Structure 1
Amino acid sequence: MDFKFTPEQEEFRKQVSTFLDDEIKKGLWKPEIDGWIMGYDPSFTKRLSDKGWIGLTWPKQYGGAGRSFIDRIILTEELLKRGAPAACHWFADRQIGGSVVKHGTEEQKAFYLPKIIKGEMYVGLGMSEPEAGSDLASLKTKAIKKDGYYQVDGGKTWTSGGKHMNYLYLLARTNPDVPKHKGLSEFVIPIDLPGMTKGLIKDITGGEHWNEVFFDNVKVDAKFLIGKENGGWGQIMEQLGYERSGMERLLANYPVYEELVAYVKETKRNGKRLAEDPLIRQQLGQLKIELETGRLFMYRVALTMDENRAPEWEASMSKAYSTGFEQRLANVAMEIVGPYGQLKPGALRAKLEGHAYHSYLSSKGYSLQAGSTEMLKNILAQRKLGLPTE
């Protein structure tokens, strides 16, 4: 089995790394935990756009670069390793644009894709509801078809990217009279439609990434329907494959790892460097092994997508494994740093720039986002191993 990259892929990684390292040296931004969802920097997104690094895998005829999913994983890996502020375009680039490429009309492709590629379209994800999280098909937000439009009523919660979005990806029930998986449809809509309101949700770290969105007799033009009416469940399963298989599921808090390695090399306890402690060496060595294993999972999924196959169980497996790694990394960081790990970024005595605090609190939700670990294990058991549902 050959795990080497091609010379072209290595050159691309070098280009990305050099660009990002130069950005950091110039002080244009500082690495942060969860930069892919918390780091909103429109100017950075525009600079990536100028490089041609948004819409990397999309067909050239729509403004994309027509490159492989392996190339895209290389790009996102380098972005995440450096904690780059890529949140503005992340969801649109990762999954919404791909769904439009596959299921959208030519008019929709011409409308949405250039906006995403230029870094002008920030999309929030309107999926979850108070009573529909992992059981997403139980959602109650309705989109009833009228004369040329859909009347939308209901509400969404945990809307990723909601604070800064100018468009919303919306999954709604267009037929309430059929089994729950069969009456759903996808829309991508402007967020300034009359009757739409949103409220901020602060997370446990004080972050302001999440929102709740409410719809009161909102008229959504039929042109915003993506794909087939009532065919949304199959489309969302494809889209969740992109969401679950992203390198961000492994490297969201990666800056903590590098900071932790540097910390144990520099810090003494009882007269000896922490790096000489056999327990700490074992912990960090184990994390490195798990990290490399997770990377292989992610690149396997990318190969699957390059073969034009939907990575359903593969994405579930890699996501379940990777979020477990992120939680273990956060736990080890807190154990090694000790009470200093409770200090927020900017605090006088904070270690690891306060990233241990953020990483530890944020990581608890990693195994819930985009499907709980328990649900993902069920998908793997049933759809790959063929085990019975009961």
Structure 2
Amino acid sequence: MARKVGPLALRLSKGRSPEVSAGNLIVQTFTIKPFDMPAGAAALREQVRAVIREHVTDGDIVRRANCWQVNDPEFSRVLGKAGLIGMTWPKQYGGHERSALERYIVLEELLSAGAPVGAHWIADRQTAPLLLRYGTEAQRQRWVPGIAAGEIYGCIGLSEPNAGSDLASVRSSARRDGDDWVLNGQKIWTTNAHIAHIMIGLFRSEEGSERNAGLSQFLIPLDTPGITIRPIINLTGEHDFNEVFFDDVRLPADGLVGTEGQGWSQATAELSLERSGPERYLSSHVLVTELIRHAGGSQDAAVLALIGKLASEVWTLRQMSLAVAGRMAAGEDPALEATIVKDLGNSLEQAIPSLIQAVVELDLSSDDALALLTAQLLQVSPSFSLRGGTREILRGIVARGLGLR
């Protein structure tokens, strides 16, 4: 089968390396290997479904769409008690030492059910893994167990007003003052900063450095004096995003995460975690399942064809996403493959509400479940290709990774 990546055609076949064709140029990329689910997968799925049945009782169906940005701290604590956060982490930090594919199963079940997992999502996906990889022992002991318990939440301070997609142009500064660091600047589009306890922020720690040189990452408790968090309200009236201001924010020396000056490489490695998971193609999944329920025993050829198309698209993306998860579990950094999954997944989940609107007669002002979900996702889905890197940036990464630029 062929999938488009900009002007490139990505051909995937089981057991063979896919090729990218651009005119007469053929470039070998990576092999998609089939992954067998671990023993006990069915029991784990049923455990997650039981938790969802017992605790997800909110009748507001709109909250099921794009659910990994819907916050419910109580539900996050329930998942923590059930051992469903921090699944792959060492037990000494509150983790459970389970496999990456077991964690993947849990994420699939939560996302496909539209469970409200937004409060702990970033901390589980990025904050704690970053601290386990680059942090000090004191940082791990202080923060990671609380994240595993579903009680400590994190946010990521990357984008700035003049450094969004061009992240290397970060200008927020960190300067040394004795044994301390002093932070100044602004971060924007910071998801969940208003409920987060800590931020992992990227700052320019070497005065006068340019582009991706001289950047460092810092672990910033958000109750530190000098920090101001202001809400950014989106089109649907929801408060997910924030702008965060730093005015002479003073951190002790151990606020540095990893190695001074290596913030760029640390942050880009972290983006593989952000770009490769099932949330990159399941944000609109509850709309697909609602379409199937809506269709019932319908013989409408257009509706049935759309259901078949969406099922095959999701299946393919799932195989690709699982392949990335498997490589990351093996200690590799499949940044290129994760980028491809993110781009293709965003394209699909953005298209789903429009595709459904085109084949199903809907009154978007009604309280019909399919209409409510379609109306909600028509409004929020344009943002899907912005978070985690714009489509243009992603395709530039793919082109460089394939030696085409």
What TM-score, normalized to structure 1? 0.91
- What is the CA-CA distance between 1:185 and the residue it aligns to? 0.9
- What is the CA-CA distance between 1:11 and the residue it aligns to? 2.3
Among residues 310, 320, 325, which one is paired with 2:333 in the alignment? 310
Aligned to 2:54: 22
2:384 match: secondary structure: coil
2:178 match: secondary structure: coil
Asked if residue 148 in structure 1 is aligned to residue 179 in structure 2, the reply is yes
Aligned to 2:28: none
Aligned to 1:359: 377
Q: Which amino acid aligns with 1:287?
A: L
Asked if residue 225 in structure 1 is aligned to residue 263 in structure 2, the reply is no
Aligned to 2:193: 162
Q: Distance in 2 between matches of 1:133 and 1:92?
A: 21
1:322 match: secondary structure: helix
1:96 match: secondary structure: helix
Among residues 76, 81, 93, which one is paired with 2:124 in the alignment? 93
The percentage of aligned residue pairs carrying the same residue is: 35
Indicate the RMSD between aligned Cα atoms, in angstroms: 1.8
Aligned to 2:81: 50
Asked if residue 34 in structure 1 is aligned to residue 34 in structure 2, the reply is no
> C-alpha offsets along residues 129-188 of structure 1, whole Å, 9 cap, x if unaligned?
111111111111111111121111111110011221222221111113233211111112
Q: Distance in 2 between matches of 1:297 and 1:61?
A: 32
Aligned to 1:207: 238
Moved over 6 A (4+): none
Among residues 302, 310, 322, which one is paired with 2:345 in the alignment? 322
- What is the CA-CA distance between 1:29 and the residue it aligns to? 8.0
- What is the CA-CA distance between 1:254 and the residue it aligns to? 1.1
Query: Does structure 2 retain, via aligned residues, the 8 Å contact 1:337–1:351?
Result: no
- What is the CA-CA distance between 1:44 and the residue it aligns to? 0.6
2:296 match: secondary structure: helix
Aligned to 1:297: 320
1:370 match: secondary structure: coil
Q: Distance in 1 between matches of 2:367 and 2:40?
A: 44
Q: Distance in 2 between matches of 1:66 and 1:127?
A: 29
Q: Which amino acid aligns with 2:205?
A: T
Q: 1:12 to 1:349 in 2, by over 3 A?
A: closer
Aligned to 2:387: 369
Q: Which amino acid aligns with 2:403?
A: G
- What is the CA-CA distance between 1:4 and the residue it aligns to? 4.1
- What is the CA-CA distance between 1:289 and the residue it aligns to? 0.6
- What is the CA-CA distance between 1:14 and the residue it aligns to? 2.3
Q: Which amino acid aligns with 2:46?
A: K
Q: 1:247 to 1:40 in 2, by over 3 A?
A: same
Q: Distance in 1 between matches of 2:112 and 2:105?
A: 11
What TM-score, normalized to structure 2? 0.87
Q: Distance in 2 between matches of 1:338 and 1:136?
A: 42
Aligned to 2:266: 235
> C-alpha offsets along residues 71-93 of structure 1, whole Å, 9 cap, x if unaligned?
11111111100111111111000
Aligned to 1:183: 214
1:209 match: secondary structure: strand
Aligned to 2:299: 276
> C-alpha offsets along residues 165-216 of structure 1, whole Å, 9 cap, x if unaligned?
2222211111132332111111121112221111110111211000001111
Query: Does structure 2 retain, via aligned residues, the 8 Å contact 1:29–1:85?
Result: no
Asked if residue 70 in structure 1 is aligned to residue 87 in structure 2, the reply is no
Q: Distance in 2 between matches of 1:201 and 1:148?
A: 35
- What is the CA-CA distance between 1:297 and the residue it aligns to? 1.2
Query: Does structure 1 retain, via aligned residues, the 8 Å contact 2:119–2:153?
Result: yes
Asked if residue 10 in structure 1 is aligned to residue 42 in structure 2, the reply is yes
Gaps of 5+ in 2: 1-13, 15-33
Query: Does structure 2 retain, via aligned residues, the 8 Å contact 1:23–1:29?
Result: no
> C-alpha offsets along residues 44-79 of structure 1, whole Å, 9 cap, x if unaligned?
111111111111111222221111211111111111
Among residues 251, 256, 270, which one is paired with 2:282 in the alignment? 251
Q: 1:21 to 1:179 in 2, by over 3 A?
A: same
